[in-house]
Amino acid sequence: MVKDPGAALRTHRLRPLAGPQPLRVETDAHGCPRAIAIEGVVRKVTSAQDRWRIDDEWWRETPVSRMYYQLQLEGDRVVTVYHDLPGGAWWLQRY
């Protein structure tokens, strides 16, 4: 017999996969990332391998406008981050 957990029922949903995670980023004078804090450790950016911009859903109240960077960090780790242009926050994007 399974014990009743007494938890409230919820409406069903599809859960988005690979959602972005908030990130602390130190930028240079041009607004490009110089160092980022991942898992509590600040890592310097050794090079920006790529940079692209996405503008979508401009017809909505909260349009999507992101500047993406593919960065190589010290230790040769490569990550993709983006700068949310309307909100100003930085996010780590996983694929």
Partner 1 sequence: MRLACITVPNFRIALERRRAPALAGRPVAIGEPPPGANQVIDCSPEASALGVRAGMPLRDARTIVPDLVLLPPDPVYYGRSADALLDAIEGAEPYVEPGDPGTAFAAIDPHADGAAQADAAARLVCSVRDGSGVEASAGVGGSKFIAWIAATVSAPGEAIVVPTGREQEFVAPLSTSFLPVSYEAHHKFALYSLQTIDDIAALPIGPLQAQFGAEGRRIWSLARGIDTCPFRPRDRATQVSGTMQMPAPTVNSGALIIAARQLSGRLLQQPAMRYRQVRQVRLRLVLLDSGSWERTLTLREPLSDEAGIVFVLKKLLEPLQLAGPVEEMTLEFLGLASETGKQRSLLFAEQARRRAQLLAALRQLKTRFGGESQVARVVEVEPWSRIPERRYALIDYDL
Phi, psi of 60 (to 5 degrees): -95, 170
Interface with partner 1 includes 93 (CB under 8 A)? yes
Site size for partner 1, by CB under 8 A? 26
4 near partner 1 (CB under 8 A): yes
Burial class (CB in 10 A: 0-12, 13-18, 19+), 71: buried
Does 74 participate in binding partner 1 (rule CB under 8 A)?
Answer: no
Q: Which stretch binds partner 1 (CB under 8 A): 1-9, 24-32, 37-45, 69-77?
A: 1-9
Phi, psi of 16 (to 5 degrees): -60, 145
Q: Which is nearer to partner 1, 26 or 50 (CB)?
A: 50
State yes or no: residue 65 binds partner 1 (CB under 8 A).
no
**Binding of partner 1 at residue 22 (CB under 8 A)?**
no
Task: State which amino acid sits at residue 58.
Answer: W
Which residues of this chain interact with partner 1, rule CB under 8 A?
2-20, 54, 56, 60, 64, 93-95
